[in-house]
A and B are shown apart, each in its own frame.
Chain A
């Protein structure tokens, strides 16, 4: 009895002390940190867009930046961006729904494996497939066109990736698995009796699909569509590889071009464009929220269902072929191309006497590459860990506490969700440049680390709060009742129970850092290059064969992580 009383007493005193000083201090610190990661670059972006010179230099405030946006060139870029993203999102959505249905609802052979194969391209850095497709689909020397000519004897080309179609196709390789991950669980988790009731009401299979299955999935589909559309507008790799050489401009490449590729960089216009696209994305997200308000149907009840499986008969080989073809085109073909070109003197000239290991040797001896490799690994490990810790705390506060200020924290953590890497890059560029001298962030790895953390935070928060939501509050309270304090509870119970989600989030963020190009390319200095930047530079300096070798190394890493993840974390990644 006395023990219980004294415990209670101590706990009360502790809670009291915490709420008195600790809590406001913790919240304040968190808001400050998040503000630095999100609001600060945003504010600097706005400042840069209305100031005639970069921050720190004498200049005046004007609207020249925004007026420059109305140049035909920029309007064309905006139209291109919207059009390309719309087309690729539409096509990807159709393909993703088809494949999700095949995997979740039919008796197609090998569905479990197909699911892993279909989602694999999502984890391969875009820069890697971009280089591969540039070598596959080059009009003159692309492997596909060479094969076409060899087979048909004609001297035209079958495809040309340096085109609108090429950009769309390259983006689709990411968008399709992205949307697939969203909709496949919606297909799987639907209460089968909802569809059976429709059949019993006299509706055919086809009527049932449209009026019940699809209609029920509409909210999640819309959500996937809008997110994927935004991703498309933010995309940099596809356009810089396949658009820039043939003068197809989009917003991100236009910003990149204005800042880095011109004799006289037009910082103000680039920044204005960044800010304008940010506002655009923000509006789209608001639209999404509006569209979906109160329209998410919980079709999942507590019961575990075996979903309705459609028996396809002989057609199941066709559905198998569709999924497998997607895997072939998005993984096997690009990887094959990288392998092929890494062993030949010049890509496009595949003769026995041109076989060589020279590129492997050259990459092996390339100090610049190894330096970048080390940077990427360091940033990946530190960045993913730091982001997950930050995300874990934010997720906890927003789902598990009623502290004042948690709404603000939530909003701050969500801000980067609508910032393209390129835009965040400029914001940080200006932000770091104006910091006082005793905070020399610009030009160090810290600059990249902070940018990566900002970009990764929304994912980390989403993953961890999802995991917390699944752990019953009782478990936590039970632990506290038994005398564990807040810190112990957090560590022992929550983290112990939520660790698979943490691991999933960590790997996702690590992947994100490894493939990140658009912010890195603005923030790196020669000493802080990362792998993706080195790849792009190698590519631009005309060494596609060396790029292939680097790409293969990167791919090996991706496959290793993905394997570990699937093998040891027996939970599918449906969180992103």
Chain B
């Protein structure tokens, strides 16, 4: 089963560059997620791979086959790309039964009747919908429609599966469940998958690699842990959760494995942090600290003092807002940590959990 390659792929709508020269290589069997804020061009990218939208620059290849080359005016229409796609609205045809919906990709390819029957039932079994084969499509719940859409996309054994926010119409609980099920299915079938979402948790839970996009460009590509802990820029960092940023100045820098350890100095604090690249002493950096990585009450390599100004109880955890040197920090701690407004606390962060990016 082949992968998908995009080279310099772009698309404009009038003056707007919806997708601006994207390079991406999805390996065979890999699960890659396009993640980014609304309007950043995720759907447009996916639709160009599908052939539902024409790219006006660059080359798209599925496996070894170039399916779209803007310069050479080559464009393979969607029905000849052998891709499966699941739409955000599911696009289940309301005038057909569940069986007919799933059988459609086979029947337009003139597969023999008996074989259609066997393959449709197998596909429905895969998503545990075989009991619903005779149902008219409108009489399905959201989650069931989603399963049918997946069965329909898989039934003709496509080379690549494309999904555009398939879980966004479901409620939170079902979303998590369907996400896990789908991930398990994808692992089992080892089908190359390109997945679009704007939900960072979903992206991290499902993907082998995440592509973070903004304003039509790729900001960073990497495994979920990589983009979460080692973001390439402030924008990427800010996209996951609500990290704290501290402005600081570099006093020393040394290489450590593939990272660099920086000694930094900021307002009322000093210590060590890590960065992806070497810095000159005197460089300004932004240090990202995730709320859950801050420890209270123990001095460490990077620590400072502050006053609690707000506390919110969230069940398993407690979120504190702490003011230090006129800056506010968000800190997550155990719910049992009693902190009343006005208390003075010491914050400290492990050097491994402080990550510097260029401002």
Contact = CB atoms under 8 A, between A and B. Distances in A.
Contacts of B87: 193, 196-197
Interface string A181-219: 000000000010110111111111001000110011010
A211 B89 contact: no
Contacts of B88: 193
B188 interface: no
Nearest to A296: B94
Interface string B135-179: 000100000000000001100100000100000000000000000
Nearest to B102: A201
Contacts of A212: 93
Given A202-B109, A203-B108, A211-B108, A197 B94 contact: no
Contacts of A215: 93, 95
B320 interface: no
B78 interface: yes
A199 B52 contact: yes
A402 interface: no
A541 interface: no
B94 A201 contact: no
Interface string B100-138: 000011001100000000000000000000000000001
A152 interface: no
Given A211-B108, A216-B95, A200 B89 contact: no
Interface string A210-233: 011001101000000000000000
Interface string A164-193: 000000000000000000000000000101
B169 to A, nearest CB: 10
B90 to A, nearest CB: 8
A90 B95 CA distance: 23
A78 to B, nearest CB: 35
Contacts of B51: 199
Q: Is the interface of A mostly helix, strand, loop or mixed?
A: helix
B62 interface: no
Nearest to B89: A193
Nearest to B50: A200
A265 to B, nearest CB: 52
Nearest to A212: B93
A521 to B, nearest CB: 45
Contacts of A191: 89, 91
A299 interface: yes
A540 interface: no
Interface string A290-307: 000001011101010000
B50 A203 contact: no
Contacts of B89: 191, 193, 301, 303
Contact of A202 (B82, B91, B94): B82
Nearest to B54: A311
Given A197-B85, A200-B78, A216 B93 contact: yes
A194 B93 contact: yes
A295 B94 CA distance: 10
- Among B83, B85, B162, the one with the most A-chain Cβ atoms within 10 Å of its Cβ is B85
Given A194-B93, A297-B95, A202 B85 contact: no
A197 B88 CA distance: 11
B85 A200 contact: yes
B84 interface: yes
Contacts of B79: 199-204
A194 B77 contact: no
- Among B79, B84, B88, the one with the most A-chain Cβ atoms within 10 Å of its Cβ is B79
Contacts of A207: 108
- Among B83, B84, B87, B95, the one with the most A-chain Cβ atoms within 10 Å of its Cβ is B95
B95 A202 contact: no
B197 to A, nearest CB: 17
B149 to A, nearest CB: 8
Nearest to B77: A199
A298 B92 CA distance: 12
Nearest to B84: A200
Contact of A194 (B50, B83, B91, B109): B91
A199 B83 CA distance: 10
Contacts of A303: 89
A202 B156 contact: yes
Given A196-B52, A196-B78, A203 B91 contact: no
Contacts of A211: 104, 108
A303 B153 CA distance: 23
A202 B52 CA distance: 12
A197 B108 CA distance: 13
A301 B89 CA distance: 9
Contacts of A202: 79-80, 82, 105, 108-109, 156
Given A191-B91, A216-B93, A297-B94, A198 B104 contact: yes
A203 B104 contact: yes
Contact of B94 (A193, A196, A216): A216
Given A196-B87, A297-B138, A301-B89, A201 B95 contact: no
Interface string A91-127: 0000000000000000000000000000000000000
Nearest to B108: A203
Nearest to B78: A199
A374 B140 CA distance: 60
B50 to A, nearest CB: 6
A216 B95 CA distance: 6
Interface of B: 50-52, 77-80, 82-85, 87-89, 91, 93-95, 104-105, 108-109, 138, 152-153, 156, 162
Given A198-B104, A202-B82, A207-B108, 16 more contacts: A193-B91, A196-B50, A199-B78, A199-B79, A200-B78, A201-B79, A203-B105, A203-B108, A204-B108, A211-B104, A212-B93, A215-B93, A216-B93, A297-B94, A297-B95, A297-B138
Q: Which 5 A-B pairs have the closest CB atoms?
A: A201-B105, A197-B91, A193-B91, A297-B94, A200-B85
13 contacts: A191-B89, A196-B85, A198-B104, A199-B78, A199-B79, A200-B85, A200-B153, A200-B162, A201-B156, A202-B108, A203-B108, A211-B104, A303-B89
